[in-house]
């Protein structure tokens, strides 16, 4: 029953985001990133009420939905980026693979927040405030405003894990956030949605 409820909530968020995106006539970065932020943050909570096998099942289901949607252009908003990207598919895969790296809900949550909240808000802030401070990495346009936002939220996520779940030096928290920011910069075609949660989960699993 919990799996079905989660699946329904996910579809509702996708549908809501589609309506929001069309309402803003495809110009509002927040409307494009709404699903990224909400779904990513929602997924981060899954281990607190779902089993690891249930999360893996949902991961495979989400991957199928993404591939079918991309092929038939169903959910236009999640495929609206102008650059070539399979970020949604990598995210679905990362949701499942991270369960094999850690069985600690707090680590999983801190890891998925990287691609949900940190990456999503970085794109929103970068679009709004990054026009005068852009830079290029591997052909991709980034901004100091966006990268700074990612670094800040990534650090808060790891620090929150350290405060509430396991003792971890502040220096390690900052180092993890800095490396995660670098990975977000260099990962091509949305691959950061896979690399980031795996990196953070593996690092916290080892250190904490």
- Specify the long-range contacts of residues 162-169, CB closer than 8 Å, at least 24 apart: 162/208, 164/106, 165/104, 165/106, 165/107, 165/208, 166/106, 166/204, 166/208, 167/208, 168/204, 168/207, 168/208
Q: Residue 30 — pLDDT band, cuts 50, 70, 90?
A: low
Question: What does the pLDDT read at residue 204?
Answer: 97
Q: Which phi and psi angles does 86 have, rounded to 5°?
A: -115, 35
Q: What is the distance of C-alpha 48 from the center of its chain?
A: 18
List the domain range (segments joined by +) for residue 179: 2-207
Cα(170)–Cα(167) distance, integer angstroms:
9
Q: Which phi and psi angles does 51 have, rounded to 5°?
A: -80, 165
H helices within 47-101, ranges in order?
A: 52-72, 87-101
pTM above 0.85, yes or no: yes
For the chain, helix, strand, coil in percent to 5 are: 75, 5, 20
- pLDDT tens string 152-176: 999 999 999 999 998 899 999 999 9
- pLDDT tens string 112-164: 999 999 999 998 899 889 999 999 988 888 999 999 999 999 999 999 999 99
For the chain, what is the domain count? 1
21: which residues sit within 8 A by CB, 6+ positions away? Answer: 28, 31, 32, 34, 76, 77, 80
């Amino acid at each position: 029953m919990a799996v079905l409820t989660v699946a329904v909530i996910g579809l509702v968020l996708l549908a809501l985001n589609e309506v929001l995106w069309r309402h803003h006539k495809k110009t509002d970065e927040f409307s494009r990133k709404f699903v990224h932020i909400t779904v990513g943050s929602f997924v981060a909570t899954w281990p607190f009420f779902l089993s690891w096998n249930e999360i893996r099942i949902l991961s495979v289901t989400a991957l199928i939905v993404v591939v079918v949607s991309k092929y038939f252009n169903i959910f236009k908003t999640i495929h609206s980026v102008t650059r070539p990207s399979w970020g949604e598919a990598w995210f679905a895969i990362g949701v499942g693979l991270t369960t094999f790296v850690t069985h600690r809900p707090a680590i999983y949550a801190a890891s998925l927040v990287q691609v949900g909240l940190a990456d999503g808000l970085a794109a929103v802030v970068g679009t709004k405030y990054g026009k005068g401070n852009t830079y290029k990495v591997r052909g991709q346009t980034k901004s100091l405003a966006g990268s700074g936002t990612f670094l800040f939220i990534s650090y808060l996520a790891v620090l929150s894990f350290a405060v509430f779940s396991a003792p971890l030096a502040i220096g390690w928290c900052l180092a993890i956030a800095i490396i995660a920011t670098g990975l977000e910069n260099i990962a091509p075609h949305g691959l950061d949605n896979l690399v980031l949660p795996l990196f953070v989960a593996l690092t916290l699993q080892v250190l904490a």
